[in-house]
């Protein structure tokens, strides 16, 4: 009879240890949650794709381009922690010649427009940012492209269209 009681006591002791371990585990998990930094470039790039297309369409229909005003406002909206390089303008072929009215620029922290180095050939634009090349194919007519970057905790996040 005595042996049977010892086994029952061992069962309750093990069950109590398991329950206490679970409770301690829940407290440790809830106390170790971290605040995550917000990576906004992906959500902003989707907005810029949609709104940029509408601004370019508006300019074509009304013969009144508001791209500079739009890009300035969008850069202000994105904030200082996000860099946006814009590639905008007209590209056309006349005979065997190509006419480039392409601008590549970004806005600095003071809100002033700065040109960005570039390479344009017959059908594409290549820009170099942070030792990486980004290439965009030129379409006849109006072009609107961008590269958006954000650095969080030493990691660089990039979105482009």
Tens digit of each residue's pLDDT (9 = 90 or more) over 24-79: 887 777 655 566 667 788 999 999 998 888 888 887 787 777 888 889 999 999 88
**Has residue 50 been placed in a domain?**
yes
**Has residue 23 been placed in a domain?**
no
Asked if 149 contacts 130 with a C-beta cutoff of 8 angstroms, the reply is yes
What confidence score (pLDDT) does residue 148 get? 92
CA angle 98, 124, 143 (to 5 degrees): 80
**Has residue 16 been placed in a domain?**
no
**Has residue 140 been placed in a domain?**
yes
What CA–CA distance (Å, rounded) separates 141 from 38? 36
What confidence score (pLDDT) does residue 1 get? 45
Question: At residue 130, what are phi and psi to the nearest 5 degrees?
Answer: 50, 45
Q: Output the CA torsion sign for 146, 147, 151, 157.
A: positive
Q: What's the pTM value of the predicted model, to 2 decimals? A: 0.72
Residue 125 belongs to domain spanning:
41-160
What confidence score (pLDDT) does residue 46 get? 92
Lay out the sheet containing 124-129: strands in order across.
119-120, 124-129, 132-137
Provide the 8-state DSSP code for 138.
Answer: P
What confidence score (pLDDT) does residue 92 get? 79
What CA–CA distance (Å, rounded) separates 29 from 121? 56
**Has residue 31 been placed in a domain?**
no
Q: How many domains does the chain have?
A: 1
**Has residue 124 been placed in a domain?**
yes
**Has residue 33 been placed in a domain?**
no
Q: Categorise residue 30: left if φ over 0, alpha if ψ from -120 to 50, beta otherwise.
A: alpha
């Amino acid at each position: 009879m005595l042996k049977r009681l010892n086994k029952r006591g061992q069962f309750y002791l093990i069950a109590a240890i398991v329950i206490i371990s679970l409770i301690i585990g829940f407290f440790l998990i809830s106390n170790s949650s971290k605040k995550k930094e917000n990576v906004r470039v992906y959500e902003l790039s989707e907005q810029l794709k949609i709104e940029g297309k509408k601004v370019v369409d508006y300019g074509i229909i009304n013969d009144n381009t508001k791209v500079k005003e739009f890009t300035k406002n969008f850069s202000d909206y994105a904030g200082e922690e996000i860099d946006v390089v814009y590639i905008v303008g007209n590209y056309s072929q006349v005979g065997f010649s190509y006419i480039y009215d392409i601008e590549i620029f970004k806005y600095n922290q003071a809100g002033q427009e700065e040109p960005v180095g570039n390479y344009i050939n017959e059908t594409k634009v290549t820009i170099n940012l942070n030792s990486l090349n980004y290439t965009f194919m030129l379409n006849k007519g109006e072009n609107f492209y961008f590269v958006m970057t954000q650095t969080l905790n030493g990691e660089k996040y990039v979105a482009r269209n």
